[in-house]
Amino acid sequence: MRTLKFLLQKEFRQIFRNKNILRMMFMVPVIQLIILPQAANYTIKNINIAVVDLDRSSYSSKLVNKVLSSGYFKLAEFSHTYKEAYHLIENDKADIVIEIPQGFEHNLEREGNQKISLSVDAINGVKASVGSAYLTRIIQDFNGQIRLDWVQPSMMNQMPTIDVASSNWYNPNLSYYLFMVPGILVLLVTMIGGNMTAQNIVIEKESGTIEQINVTPVKKYQFILGKLIPFWLLGVIIFTLGLTIARVVYGIIPLGSIALLYLFVSVYLIAIMGFGLLISTYSETPMQANSLIFFFLQIFNMMGGLYTPIDSMPAWARVITDVIPISYFIKVMRMIVIKGSHFHDIIPHILIVLLMGVILNTWAIINYRKTT
């Protein structure tokens, strides 16, 4: 313990001596946690739409007004022909073209049906699918209103109706921030914890101080613990800072136990920092460590369930997510913060992450060599 004490003193002095590391560890998460949830928004708005109204009737005008007043679409241009509107898509000035044919109102009243043409710019698949779904829903609602207008008042009481009572559990207001902020906080803790520890041993190698440590009677597990504990404490502090920002800026108060969150983040930091230390033992230069940790963190971020539901991934991808620690942390954060889950709900996740931490840190201790 005395040896470990001196190693910890050395590490803390090195950390607080380097002002750039402190700025990176504390300022970067604060700025990103404030900015990223504002920018990474799943709500699709300001969809540019070009309208080709060849009928210019009262029904076509009502339909166009209903589309533009929905709040999702922004008028790019009223075009006289479909060819003019298509040029707007080619020049990236419109995302969707809606063409209302001539005789729209007449055919609708006389024959009871009429087709409307939609052309969607599908380069951005998400925007195309969501935009066309919005527009289809608006047209269906407009169609339902027309049917009600045509039904005689005396027949209204005879028409069968189905009343739907829906409720949104855990996120009644469908708040985007309540869903994304906990996940982004996990991402930031992972980036800081993994990146800082990955740089640690290679910095010692580059400066030459690793040779001085290697000739001392310091055991390998003491050396790894001396590298792990300071960043573990700083990771917990950064997590606390992130929870404070989530509460002050976004008004997010966890429904579950705060202590349970800290229990899981404590175990998670051991796993992700063990992974960073393992990379550090394999790397010879900071550039090599940076490249390796960047490669793996990109996989963690894309496949951890932050942006894409894991259940929607193909089978081979779901197998990979089973060995990615960040996927368990994101799920547990949302379970505790949004759902208010208890300890027995997260036992399987915490045991898996704990096992990962034991394996990764043991691997790092074995791989670290005191001789060259």
Which tokens is 107 given?
A: 């055919």
pLDDT for res 188: 87
Helix (H) or strand (E) holding 364: helix 343-367
Cα 21 to Cα 238: distance, rounded to the nearest angstrom: 13
Please tell me whether residue 99 adopts helix, strand or coil conformation.
strand
Rounded to 5 degrees, what angle do the CA atoms 323, 343, 273 make?
40
Which tokens is 262 given?
A: 């800290």
pLDDT for res 214: 64
Please tell me whether residue 26 adopts helix, strand or coil conformation.
helix
Find the radius of gyration of the CA atoms of the chain.
Answer: 29
Please tell me whether residue 43 adopts helix, strand or coil conformation.
coil
Average pLDDT over residues 98-109: 84
Global confidence as pTM:
0.77
Q: Kindly list the structural domains of the chain, giving each domain's residue range(s) and its CATH number in brackets, ordered by start.
A: 2-40+179-367 (no CATH), 47-156 (3.40.1710.10)
Average pLDDT over residues 59-72: 88
Q: Which stretches does DSSP call E strand in 89-239?
A: 96-100, 117-120
Mean pLDDT, the chain, rounded, equals: 83
pLDDT for res 366: 85
Q: What tens digit of pLDDT does each residue of 180-201 get?
A: 889 889 988 998 888 888 887 7
Question: Is there a contact between 102 and 57 (Cβ–Cβ < 8 Å)?
Answer: no
